[in-house]
Every structure is written in structure tokens, then in C-alpha cells.
Amino acid sequence: MNARLLRLVTVMVILAALLSCRGFATKKRLPDMTGSVFAVAVIDASLPAKGSRDGECPWATSGMPLLGPPSESTSNTDEDSVPLGEDGFIVVRMGAPFTNGDGTDLRIHASPAGREYYNVSVSSDGRKWIEVAQRVCTDTSKLWYRSIDFGRLEGVFEYVRIDSLSDNDCRPYIHAIEALWPTAAPVSKSEDATKTIKSTHEAYAFADDFDDVLSGWETQAKKDDGYDYRNREFAFWTSELSVALWSWAPMGKTRLPDFRAEATAYKATGGDDAEYGIIWGIDNRNFYVFKASADGWYTVQLLEDDEWQTPPVDWTKSDAIRQGEESNTLEVVVEDGCAALIVNGEELRFIDLAMVGPYKIGIMCGTYETVPVEVRFTRFSLKEMT
């Protein structure tokens, strides 16, 4: 082989490798997906950081694209795929429980690039996992999906986990996750219970049990303090005394003059003076706080122009508040310029509101004399009063 021919072959090999790593294909062939269900919520994930060498994290810009059925696009962009990165993973909840059927049970729709290996597991509860495929490689059939047969595996499952392997030459780009044998009627992406519902004929409503890490809450994760999704709950943690942390509900531009907000929370670690509750107000400099402590007290505080005012309700002891690590459900009903304060179904009192709405609403954590502290929220709901 002469030098010119050798150089030509080398260039062709390099070009083929580059095209493989970007997932190019001449035509995308999709299977018959009649009756299948797809991912509707992301439960947990470890994905490439925005701007990393593994590509931008797609849900940092445009929401998670792999929810729902695959598109006909053959590109690897934020709009149509999720790059797992090296040692990345993603956990999704499917649109309905699924089981083992005849032939193919699961399809992973991914770019047919070279040697992109990953493992696939399923679970009924999102905690205990059964591996159903090892070192899956979408390059084997030159298709845009990989079929997985559960073999003799028995059971009903609802969750799928994909783990990228560290020895990849390229990074897996996942477009969709499909289960072929649902055991119940599917739930569409827009019908998922953790999503906001808004129409001209219904009052605004929002409910979240925090099992979807992309449901939209503000997060700030630092070593000593922060707030973020943790193990299908929403956690606040801090090592600072006399501090307040809060996160606003994902309401978009919606503001409510009258509403009912309910939050269930508990102290995970720390002293019994740990505080948690509901906030509502105009912005980060102007809002009310209704909070309880794990030692059985509650208060209402008011922040105006970034200065704490005389509390509308000073710290008050209540037998309605469960103490220690037990959960408490706090509720605020704002209507016609006053607020009803409720704990575990027991109405504590009414207060008049000096700050006029409409309001944004959220959840918070506070500390007093004992740190570090961590509190967890397990449920939040919000409904417009009409």
C-alpha cells in the first residue's frame, strides 16, 4: 500500500469514528410502538454539567427531552436526546406499570453510535433494582433503538434505570424509553400528577410529591447549606444559626390573590428547634412565613423590604404539632385579605394580612440555636380559591 493510499484510508477511518461518536445515520427507523408506554417523569439523574466535554446537560436549558415517545430527529441535541456522559445515570418513571410479555419487553431509543455501553435495570418501587441488560450497545444492529427481553423475569415494574459505563469511547445519547407490555392504561406526559394544570375553566392547581427531580423547584446545593431533591423528597440543610432558606413553587408567572397551600414535612436530622413551613409573598424581600418547630411551637413572621418586622404571630405552643422526627402537615388558606393557619387539620387562628397579593408561594426551613439541621418535605399542594 503506497503512502497516498495509506493516508486516504487513515482519513476515512477518522471520519467514520467522528460520525459514529456524533450519532449520524442516514435514516431513522422506528418500530411499531402501538400500545407501548413511555417515560413520564425523571426520578433521579447524574448528567453532564452544562458546557462539559460530554455535552450540555439538556434539562438545564429546555427540560428533559426523553419524556414521551421518540421523535424522528437523527440529531443529538438538547431538544431530542439526553447525553448520559461518563458514569452518568438516569432513573425514570414510566407512564404505567409494565411486565414481562412475549418477545421484546423494553426498548431503549438511542443514537446508533460506536461502542456506547450502558446497563439497564427495572424496579417496582424505585429503590430495589433488577438488572435486565448488561453492556447494551446501540451499535450492534445499526438501529435507533435496542430491544431488551426480560427472559423469565416475573413481576410488575414501574421504573427504569440506565447507567453509562466508564469505558465508553463515546457517550450514550438516550432519546426515549419504551415499555411494550403495560398492565394499566397509560398516563401521558401532560397528565402526570406532578405537573401544573391550568385552563380557562379550572382554578390553578399544582401538586408535587417530589419524585420528579425536574418538577421545577428552585434548588441550591452547597456543602454546608442548600435545598434540593433527595430520595424522592425535597430537602433543606444548613449549618448556620438563625438562618432561613426557602424555595418558591414552580408557578411560572402565575400569582394568586387567594389560595390554599398545604405542605407535609419532618425534621430529618438536628435539634428539635428545627423549623419548617410555608411562605407566600411578592418576592425574596417581601413575604410571610408560617412555620412550625419540631418541639411543638409555631409562628408567623413578616419580611418587608428585606427587614424582619414584628411577628404577626409570636412563637406559640400547640398540641396539634407532632414533635421530634414525626411529620406535620401545615396549611395556609388566604382569602379576602386574611389567612387561616392550620396544622394537621386543626385550625389554629386567623390573621389579617397587611401585604396585598397576588402572591407566589413556596416552602422553607429555618434554624434557631441548634445546627446542623436537615428537614424534608414529602408533599406540597396548591390550589387557587375561587
pLDDT of 200 higher than 60: no
| Mean local confidence (pLDDT), 184-212 | 53
pLDDT of 262 higher than 50: yes
pLDDT value at residue 365: 95
pLDDT value at residue 293: 94
Grade residue 251 by pLDDT with cuts at 50, 70 and 90. Answer: confident
Grade residue 150 by pLDDT with cuts at 50, 70 and 90. Answer: confident
pLDDT of 46 higher than 90: no
| Mean local confidence (pLDDT), 230-244 | 91
pLDDT of 271 higher than 70: yes
**What is the pLDDT of the chain when averaged over all its residues?**
79
Q: What does the pLDDT look like over 179-197, one tens digit per residue?
A: 999 986 554 433 333 333 2
What's this model's pTM, rounded to 2 decimal places?
0.52
| Mean local confidence (pLDDT), 116-144 | 75
pLDDT value at residue 361: 96
Q: Which of 22-31, 142-151, 317-326, 336-345 is least confident?
A: 22-31
Grade residue 287 by pLDDT with cuts at 50, 70 and 90. Answer: very high
pLDDT of 170 higher than 50: yes
pLDDT value at residue 183: 86
pLDDT value at residue 5: 60
**CA angle, 166 then 172 then 177, to 5°:** 125
Higher-scoring residue by pLDDT: 218, 139: 218
Q: Which of 108-122, 213-227, 319-333 is least confident?
A: 108-122
pLDDT value at residue 192: 36
Residue-range domains of the chain with CATH:
30-189 (2.60.120.260), 197-384 (2.60.120.560)
pLDDT value at residue 283: 92
pLDDT value at residue 311: 94
In DSSP terms, which residues pair with 247 in a beta bridge? 363
| Mean local confidence (pLDDT), 322-338 | 92
| Mean local confidence (pLDDT), 72-82 | 57
pLDDT of 86 higher than 80: no
pLDDT value at residue 24: 42
pLDDT of 113 higher than 80: no
Q: Which of 29-38, 105-114, 244-253, 329-338 is least confident?
A: 105-114
Higher-scoring residue by pLDDT: 226, 54: 226
pLDDT value at residue 48: 61
| Mean local confidence (pLDDT), 308-314 | 93
Q: Which of 58-62, 139-143, 170-174 is least confident?
A: 58-62
**CA–CA distance, 323 with 211 (Å, rounded to integer):** 25
